[in-house]
Amino acid sequence: MTSSKFTRRGLLKTGAASGIALATPTIFTGAAWAAAHTGFTNAPQGDTVTLGFNVPQSGPYADEGADELRAYELAVEHLNGEGDGGMLNTFSSKTLDGTGINGKRVEYVTGDTQTKSDAARASARSMIEKDGAIMITGGSSSGVAVAVQALCQEAGVIFMAGLTHSNDTTGVDRKANGFRHFFNSYMSGAALAPILIDQYGADRKAYHLTADYNWGYTTEEAMRQSTEAMGWETVNSVKTPLTQTDFSSYIAPVLNSGADVLVLNHYGGNMVNSLTNAVQFGLREAEANGKQFEIVVPLYSELMAQGAGENIAGILGSQNWDWKLENQLGERYVGTNAFVESFGNKYGRPPSQAAHTCYVQTLLYADAVNRAGSFNPCAVVEALEGFEFDGMGNGPTLYRAADHQCFKDVIVVRGKENPENEFDLVEIVEATPVDQVTYEPNHPQFGGDAASLGDCNPGA
Amino acid sequence: MDAFILQILNGLDKGSAYALIALGLTLIFGTLGVVNFAHGALFMIGAFCAVTLQKILTLGFVPADSASAATVGGFSFGSAKETTYVEYWFGEAVGSAIVDWSVPLAILFAIPVMMLIGIIMERGLIKHFYKRPHADQILVTFGLAIVLQEVVKYFFGANPIPTPAPEAFTGSLDFGVLMGFDPYTIVYPYWRLVYFVFAMGIIAAVFGFLQFTTFGMVVRAGMADRETVGLLGIDIDKRFTIMFAIAACVAGLAGVMYAPINSPNYHMGMDFLVLSFVVVVVGGMGSLPGAVLAGFLLGILESFASMAEVIDVIPGINQIIIYLVAIVILLTRPRGLMGRKGVMED
């Protein structure tokens, strides 16, 4: 016989105790507390350092979050000298030697962003305040990235963005404590436009369907500006609610609008459904203005491609990175195979571009701390600003000082007609050289002259 | 004119899904008096019946002589195309036809599954809440919906899973040409037409069942006065359990057939749930014809509201139209379009 030790009174006591613990006010904001810990928030004590991985573990982007988490776990393993070392072997900076970060063993905590700004801020805050995370990284939405970046700026920790593609993350909402390795809407537009003109001609009329939120707006703006500059005309653009599931009533009028290209500024579930609907409505077979009708998806992801199935066949889009890069385009993209092999051996699948950017961000942070010789956020900011590196799978890359955006080649891809298996969904069309996607830090799409990083905040 | 016809067509398939879900909701509410927030989850489970059957049918093995597809460093991903077991057993032509028709076949698969789930739900959980206030029923069924959702997510992941319609129904019908317009003015996918016809069939079957069978007559009598029917010595509880199973089945079949329209994901039920409740309220609580009528009405209005020309005039109308209509109807007809006196008014 077993007897339960739970009693009503015991349960009440535990509940009350945890309630008090949860209600304890924030401690890190106290300047006195921070000063006692060598002048910055969450300075590592003892021989370990804690990183906070803030990824969607529930909600519609949970699968992408799971892949990000796999990459983070792999990065921690490599930093601590376990496994085959992955990109540590190819990274141009050689400070990472498997002894952790600055000699401290790496530990991590995770949070669930739920792909909601408020939930993401709450989980980031909890990791900073309760778990002592010195750096927050991850996410798969620009709304979340902008919100968490602002929180990290206030709290005085570094934010290494995960998958976020809106111009605003390193544009109007840029922050001194925040860094983005992933590419952005402008770069997608700049990389795609020449290829679209080349493949579909300069005399085209485009119809935009745009997700009604921050990322949708900047992507539409970027796509319109770069395609219109090359001769395309935009006949209409319609905002679709983020919660929309059936896009038929938005898709149906497209064929009748005089347009001959449909640009789907949608991501995730929106993109899967709008593209599926567009194909159902016969847009792939239709002719308009005497030309074959075409569909464009500015931002591709492997998971979306899986969700949309055979509907992606032949459709052009852009990516930050692809696991086949080094095999197909050669040594310039060194690091890709090292990472893919390491990831594949551990998890039995190739990494997504979300996983790649998260892995790289973790290594870049660790390396910056090593080079700075300090975990102080302001020292890390200084080490990352203007940092040029290679061997991380994207070719030579610059972390620009003016806006904390990485500049590197952009990959233009096309949905494969006859995929061999579930991992082989897109084919690489071209790697657009970094020069073609570079812009001025005060570009109007990025907040113009008014946008500023502000000062770095160490939290003390 | 052509844009007008196009949006009516669009509204019909959307309305079909709303009507089918709202029909099941109303059946349960009318018979058992339970406000079932898990009904959207039943729709979702129906769609996943199609996904499951497709997965079972496409189970396969790699022929021994095939080479690996892609190798990176020392690691190779995936393999060359698998041969499915059905192709191996029935020959390639028959096998691939079976795989191709997996969604219609899933109807046969879904009926017993949904019936069983309905009976387990009703006997296992919902019957304990008959005498509890509606608020309790809403809480427990909403909780159940979240549990079902997470169970599906655990097994199938959060990403949508493509579940294509049979090859014969892919592509679209150029409606405009039939009506004398230019080509490509009114194009409508075949599968959505199938969905509409299917929905009409199900709705007719449910009404016929209630109207023309003895079982249906007893159930209708039970809906009107449960106590008296009980006093006549009829085991109304058992019949209501079966009605719950039928309602679950209607939602499930709506889900199966919806799978090719939008790739199913674990939260698709929630996406439909709130709208379906609005449909039930607009149609009139407890009124089956009201639910169907309101389903199509709101589907069509939603389609019109998402036309670019309309959004230009009233920005954001596409996001609020359904609720706006609900407010107007409830102000002018507080019992909904076809609501009867005395339902949910005690």
Q: Domain A186-319+411-437, what architecture? A: 3-Layer(aba) Sandwich (3.40)
Q: Which B residues in the span 190-209 are in contact with A, Cβ-Cβ below 8 Å? A: 191-192
* Residues whose CB is less than 8 angstroms from the CB of residue A82 and which lie 6 or more positions away in sequence, other chains included: A98
- Closest chain B residue to the Cα of A309, Cα to Cα: B162
Residue showing tokens 């102000």: B331
Instruction: Determine the distance in angstroms separating the CA of B262 from the nearest CA of chain A, rounded to an integer.
Output: 6
Torsion angle of the four alpha carbons B80, B83, B84, B85, in this order, in degrees rounded to the nearest 10: -140
Q: Which residue has the tokens 């079976």?
A: B98
* Chain B residues whose beta carbon lies within 8 Å of the beta carbon of residue A61: 158
Alpha-carbon distances of B133 from B24, B136, B138, B222, rounded to whole Å: 21, 6, 9, 20
Token pair of A64, please?
């992408």
> Could you give phi then psi for residue A409, rounded to 5 degrees?
-65, 150
Number of Cβ atoms within 10 Å of the Cβ of B199: 27
Give me the residue spans of the domains in chain B: 2-56+85-332
Give the residue from B13, B55, B72 with the most A CB atoms within 10 Å of its CB, the best one to mutate. Answer: B72
Q: Do A281 and B157 touch (CB under 8 A)?
A: no
Residue A47 at interface with chain B, using a CB cutoff of 8 Å: no
Residues of A299-313 as b/e, b for ≥16 C-beta within 10 angstroms?
A: bbbbbbbbbbbbbbb
State residue A357 phi and psi, 5-degree precision. -65, -35
**Contact yes or no for B11/B299 (Cβ under 8 A):** yes
Q: What is the CA radius of gyration of chain A?
A: 23
The answer to whether A31-183+332-407 and A186-319+411-437 have equal CATH topology is: yes
Residue A172 DSSP one-character state = T
d(CA B182, CA A289): 13
> Could you give the C-alpha distances from B44 to B48, B142, B262, in angstroms and in order?
6, 14, 12
Q: Which residues of A touch B262 (CB under 8 A)?
A: 245-246, 272-273, 276-277
Minimal Cα–Cα distance from B13 to chain A, Å?
10
Pairing of strands A410-415, A426-432: antiparallel
Amino acid letter for position B70: A
Going A268 to A271 to A277 to A282, the CA torsion angle's sign is negative
C-alpha distances out from residue B24 to A175, A385, A393, B20, B252, Å = 52, 60, 53, 6, 10
DSSP label at residue A159: E
Residue B38: per-residue pLDDT: 92
The helix/strand count (H/E) of chain B reads as 15, 6
CB contact under 8 A, A276 and B262: yes
pLDDT at position B234: 86
Put simply, the answer to whether A420 touches B185 (Cβ < 8 Å) is: no
**Burial class of A338 by CB neighbour count within 10 A (0 to 12, 13 to 18, 19+):** buried
A292 near B CB under 8 A: no
The 10 Å CB-count burial string (b at 16+, else e) for A188-200 is: bbbbbbbbbbeeb
Q: Do B307 and A341 touch (CB under 8 A)?
A: no
Of B216, B236, B241, B217, give the one whose Cα is nearest residue B226: B236
Q: Is B242 exposed, middle or buried (0-12, 13-18, 19+ CB in 10 A)?
A: middle
- Burial environment of residue A278 by CB neighbours within 10 A (0 to 12, 13 to 18, 19 or more): buried
pLDDT of residue B6: 84
Tokens of B174: 């150029």
Are residues A246 and B2, on separate chains, in Cβ contact within 8 Å?
no
Contacts of A249 in chain B (CB under 8 A): 7, 10-11, 14, 302-304, 306-307
* Sheet architecture: strand order including A178-180: A105-112, A48-55, A135-138, A158-161, A178-180
User: Nearest-CA residue of chain A relative to B315?
Assistant: A239
* Closest residue to A62, CB basis, from B80, B153, B172: B153
At residue A39, the pLDDT reads: 83
CA nearest to B269, candidates B258, B280, B260, B283: B258
Mean pLDDT by 10 residues, chain B (346 residues): 83 90 89 88 96 90 61 61 78 85 94 96 90 90 94 91 90 82 83 94 94 90 82 86 93 95 91 87 88 92 87 85 91 87 63
- In contact, A115 and A141? CB cutoff 8 Å: yes
Burial class (CB in 10 A: 0-12, 13-18, 19+), B162: buried
Q: Nearest CA to CA, how far is A336 from chain B (Å)?
A: 9
- B158 with A252: Cβ contact below 8 A: no
pTM: 0.87
The dihedral through the CA atoms of A419, A420, A424, A428 has a sign that is: negative
Asked if B148 and B124 count as a contact pair (C-beta separation under 8 A), the reply is: no
Q: Select from B89, B111, B103 the least CA-distant residue to B55.
A: B103
CB A291 within 8 A of CB B226: no
| Residues in A touching B70 (Cβ below 8 Å) | 324, 327, 420, 423-424
Q: Which of A37, A246, A151 is nearest to B318 (CA)?
A: A246
Q: How far apart are CA B203 and CA B21, in angstroms?
A: 11
Which residues in chain A come in under a pLDDT of 70?
A: 1-37, 460
Q: For chain A, what are the domain ranges? A: 31-183+332-407, 186-319+411-437
Half-sphere exposure of B92 (CA within 13 A, CB side): 2
Domain covering A31-183+332-407 in this structure, CATH number: 3.40.50.2300
Helix axis angle for B2-32 and B236-258, nearest 10°, is: 150
What pLDDT shows up at residue B90? 84
Does ipTM exceed 0.90? no
**A350 and B CB contact within 8 Å:** yes
Query: What's the CA gap between B253 and B195, in Å, rounded?
Result: 10
Question: From CA B110, how far away is CA B107, in angstroms rounded?
Answer: 5
Cα A75-A406-A439 angle, rounded to 5 deg:
165
Contacts of A89 in chain B (CB under 8 A): none
In one-letter notation, the amino acid at residue B81 is: K
Long-range contacts of the stretch B186-189 (C-beta < 8 A, 24+):
B186/B2, B186/B5, B186/B6, B186/B9, B187/A252, B187/A255, B187/A281, B187/A282, B187/A286, B188/A252, B188/A281, B188/B6, B188/B9, B189/A280, B189/A281, B189/A282
Q: Which two tokens stand for residue A33?
A: 């507390």
Q: Which residues pair with A316 in a beta bridge?
A: A296, A414
Q: Which long-range contacts (CB under 8 A, 24 or more apart) does A95-98 make?
A: A95/A367, A95/A370, A95/A371, A96/A363, A96/A366, A96/A367, A96/A370
Alpha-helical (H) ranges within A296-352 are 302-308, 325-329, 336-347
Distance from CA of A223 to the nearest CA of B (A): 20
Return the closest-CA partner of residue B163 out of A309, A331, A47. Answer: A309
In this structure, are residues B148 and B41 in contact, taking their beta carbons and an 8 Å threshold?
A: yes
